[in-house]
Structure 1
Amino acid sequence: MAATRLRRTFHYPADSEDEDAVEEGMDEQDQATLLSTLSTQDTSSTRLYTQLLLALPLIPALLYLPRLSSLSTCTSSILSIISLLASAYTLYYLPLPPVRIRVTNVSSSSSDGKERREGKGKSTSKRRSMARTATGFSSAAPRHETPPVPYISDETTALLRTYIVPFNATLCVASALHELWQARDWSQGVMIGGGYIPGFVMGVVMWARRELRVVDLGELERLRYRSKGT
């Protein structure tokens, strides 16, 4: 007697089935665990990359120290060291506020979920989209804690937070203008003792400072409590 083989036709799951599986498969504890894991991983990776990038301003600052013994290079080396230390201070002690996640077009009503499961109203089903938007210091923005600065008073820390970036930019411009006035080759300007190094380091630090912003998961947390209330 020939055996019969039952075959099931393979089909790709629809988007609505994936959304229903996520909504029905994650309870409150799973959501809280997921948010906590994402926040911890993002904070630890940001701290790691920040510490690694500190080598960019600190190593050239150490290489400038032997140039302090010569009168011809002492003044320019002191200004370069101050600029590099200011870049390191800005990178580590003055991180930018967290990036806020904005959740738009969220539909979590049970009637919409029922229509998606029944295959009706495909044209009216809404998709979730997340957009990372940078927020400044405003009343709606979350409180952002900066690392404490040792051996410096709160008044001095506030002054550094306000003026260290424009002061460093002024030093970089002055160093670059001095390099142009000397009319040396470009290759000498980007070596230790060159006038372009402070500006280059500050540019990289300011770019990395923007990219290494932690993610604020407060909007997702509020969305979780809102869905819990409904």
Structure 2
Amino acid sequence: MASARFRRAFQYPDDSGDDQYAREELDEEEQERVIQNLKRLNNRRNSEYSIIFTTVPIFSAAIYMPLVLSSSSTNPDRCLALTSMLSLLTTAFTMRYSPHSNGHSQTQQPLSLINAVLCVLLVLIHFAYLPRESWLSTELITSLMPGAMLATISVARRIMSSVDIKGLETLRYDYKGA
């Protein structure tokens, strides 16, 4: 008998006495406390993100003020700068005043669509009317900024609405504490 094999009896993971994977069940009060704490943390985080992502487009709109106020700017330059400012302010408005839920509000969807069209038009106008030598210049960056802000805000809003605390309430179990 050179190789003897020993057989061990099958044991369920719970029967092993190893409490590494054991978890403590929560009673109704503890579940409610955990859910309320998660709601409070999520609301605070959403509020912070909302403030941050509202101020960034507002400050970005200030970049266009010299073009609007300069006497050396041409009317088309002023018009493009005003359109960029309008787009950035619309993005800030959407971030601040539209709800952060998965559903769309009545004003959010058309406003976001109009804003996206404005952003695309700014880039198309840049490529259509500027000479080919100046395509990769600061004018390109200023024409891309409203679209980049809109995309960033859209991603931030999607992330903010992806946390569904209300879904936790449906996962409650009826465990009565001792």
Taking structure 1 as the reference length, the TM-score comes to 0.59
Q: Give 1:74's match in structure 2, choosing from 65, 75, 78.
A: 78
Q: Give 2:95's match in structure 1, choosing from 91, 94, 97.
A: 91
SS at match of 1:33: helix
Match of 1:212 in 2: 160
C-alpha contact 2:91 2:153 (8 A) present in aligned 1: yes
Match of 2:60 in 1: 60
The one-letter amino acid of 1:165's match is S
Provide, for residues 69-124 of structure 1, a one-character-per-residue CA deviation record: whole Å limited to 9, x for no partner: 233421111110111011111212224425xxxxxxxxxxxxxxxxxxxxxxxxxx
C-alpha contact 1:57 1:201 (8 A) present in aligned 2: yes
How far the C-alpha of 1:215 sits from its partner, in A, is 2.9
Match of 1:177 in 2: 124
The structure 1 segments of at least 4 consecutive aligned residues displaced by more than 3 Å after TM superposition are none
Match of 1:7 in 2: none
How far the C-alpha of 1:202 sits from its partner, in A, is 1.0
C-alpha contact 1:189 1:197 (8 A) present in aligned 2: no
1:168 aligns with 2:115: yes
For residues 219 and 50 of structure 1, the distance between their equivalents in structure 2, rounded to whole angstroms, comes to 22
List runs of 5+ in structure 1 lacking aligned partners. Answer: 1-10, 99-135, 138-145, 147-157
C-alpha contact 2:28 2:174 (8 A) present in aligned 1: no
C-alpha contact 1:58 1:88 (8 A) present in aligned 2: yes
Superposition map of 1:96-175 within 5 A: 96-98=100-102, 136=103, 158=106, 160-175=107-122
List runs of 5+ in structure 2 lacking aligned partners. Answer: 1-16
For residues 148 and 60 of structure 2, the distance between their equivalents in structure 1, rounded to whole angstroms, comes to 12
1:32 aligns with 2:28: no
Structure richer in strand, relative to its length: 1
Identity of aligned residues (%): 25
User: 1:86–1:37: structure 2 CA closer, same or farther, 3 Å change rule?
Assistant: same
Taking structure 2 as the reference length, the TM-score comes to 0.74
How far the C-alpha of 1:56 sits from its partner, in A, is 2.1
How far the C-alpha of 1:223 sits from its partner, in A, is 3.4
User: 1:12–1:190: structure 2 CA closer, same or farther, 3 Å change rule?
Assistant: farther
How far the C-alpha of 1:228 sits from its partner, in A, is 4.9
The one-letter amino acid of 2:152's match is V
